[in-house]
Structure 1
Amino acid sequence: MEEQENGEIKALIKVWFKVLISFIYTYFIVSKLPKGKIRLISLLPVFSVFTILPYSLSTPTTAGLTGFFITWLANFKLILFSFNLGPLTHDLPSKSFFNFILIAAFPIKIKKIGKDPFTPTQKLPLSLPLKVLIYSLIIIAGYFSNYNKSLHPNVLLGVYCCIVYLNLEIVMGVCNKIVGSILGLELSPPFDEPYLSTSLQDFWGRRWNLMVSDVLRYTVYFPVRAFWENHIGKRWAQVVATMAAFVVSGLMHELLFFYITRASPTWEVTCFFLLHGLCLVIEIGLKRGLGFGELHWALAGPLTVGFVMVTGFWLFFPQFVRNKIDVRSLEEVNAVCRFLKGMLP
Structure 2
Amino acid sequence: MEGELKNLIMVWLIVLASLCYTYFIASKIPKGKLRLLSLIPVFFLFTILPLSLTTVLPTGITAFFMTWLANFKLILFSFGLGPLSSDPPKSLPLFISIACFPIKIKQNDKYPSHQNTQKHINSSPILKAPPKLSLNFPTKVLLFALLVAAIDYKHVHPTIVLGSYCCLLYFLVDIVLGLCNAIVRATLGIELELPSNEPYFSTSLQDFWGRRWNLMVTNVLRYTIYKPIRSISETVLVKQQKQKWAPLPAVLVTFMVSGLMHELIFFYVTRVNPMWEVTCFFVLHGVCLVVELWVKNVLLARGCWLHWAVAGPLTIGFVVVTANWLFLPPLVRNGADIKAIEECKVVLKLLKDKMLWTLKSL
Counterpart for residue 116 of structure 2: 117
Aligned pair count reads 336
- Of 72-81 and 235-244, more deviation after overlay is shown by 235-244
Counterpart for residue 269 of structure 1: 278
Secondary structure of the corresponding residue to residue 61 of structure 2 = helix
Matched, 1:205 2:216: no
Matched, 1:169 2:178: no
Counterpart for residue 16 of structure 1: 12
* Pick aligned residue for 1:156 from 138, 154, 161: 161
2: CA distance, partners of 1:32 / 1:261:
39
Counterpart for residue 86 of structure 1: 82
Distance apart, 1:218 and its partner CA:
0.2
Secondary structure of the corresponding residue to residue 149 of structure 1 = coil
Cα pair 1:93 1:99 within 8 Å, conserved: no
Counterpart for residue 269 of structure 2: 260
Cα pair 1:54 1:66 within 8 Å, conserved: yes
Distance apart, 1:340 and its partner CA:
5.6
- Of 203-212 and 79-88, more deviation after overlay is shown by 79-88
Cα pair 1:220 1:241 within 8 Å, conserved: yes
Counterpart for residue 41 of structure 2: 45
Cα pair 1:73 1:212 within 8 Å, conserved: yes
Task: Compute the TM-score of the two structures, normalised by the length of structure 2.
Answer: 0.88
Matched, 1:311 2:322: yes
User: Which deviations, in whole Å up to 9, do the C-alpha atoms of 1:320-341 show, x marking residues without a partner?
Assistant: 1111122111321344356568
Cα pair 2:8 2:53 within 8 Å, conserved: yes
2: CA distance, partners of 1:95 / 1:57:
31
Matched, 1:331 2:330: no
* Pick aligned residue for 1:225 from 218, 223, 230: 230
Q: CA-atom RMSD, angstroms?
A: 1.9
Matched, 1:127 2:139: no
Counterpart for residue 215 of structure 1: 220
User: Which deviations, in whole Å up to 9, do the C-alpha atoms of 1:168-216 show, x marking residues without a partner?
Assistant: 0001011111111222121110010000000000000000100000000
Cα pair 2:50 2:62 within 8 Å, conserved: yes
Counterpart for residue 100 of structure 1: 95
Return 5+ residue gaps in structure 2 as ranges: 122-128
Residue 96 of structure 2 aligns with an amino acid whose one-letter code is: I
* Pick aligned residue for 1:66 from 16, 39, 62: 62
Return 5+ residue gaps in structure 1 as ranges: none
Cα pair 1:173 1:189 within 8 Å, conserved: yes
2: CA distance, partners of 1:35 / 1:216:
20
- Of 226-235 and 295-304, more deviation after overlay is shown by 226-235
2: CA distance, partners of 1:209 / 1:104:
17
Q: Percent identity?
A: 57
Cα pair 2:252 2:283 within 8 Å, conserved: yes
User: Which deviations, in whole Å up to 9, do the C-alpha atoms of 1:131-190 show, x marking residues without a partner?
Assistant: 111001111113xxxx10121111111100000010000010111111112221211100
Cα pair 2:104 2:216 within 8 Å, conserved: yes
Distance apart, 1:118 and its partner CA:
2.6
Task: Compute the TM-score of the two structures, normalised by the length of structure 1.
Answer: 0.93
Counterpart for residue 309 of structure 2: 298
Moved over 6 A (4+): none
Residue 108 of structure 1 aligns with an amino acid whose one-letter code is: I
User: Structure 1 residues 93, 61: closer, same or farther in 2, change over 3 A?
Assistant: farther
Matched, 1:188 2:193: yes
Matched, 1:30 2:26: yes
1: CA distance, partners of 2:136 / 2:213:
16
User: Structure 1 residues 254, 222: closer, same or farther in 2, change over 3 A?
Assistant: same
Cα pair 1:77 1:87 within 8 Å, conserved: yes
2: CA distance, partners of 1:216 / 1:228:
17
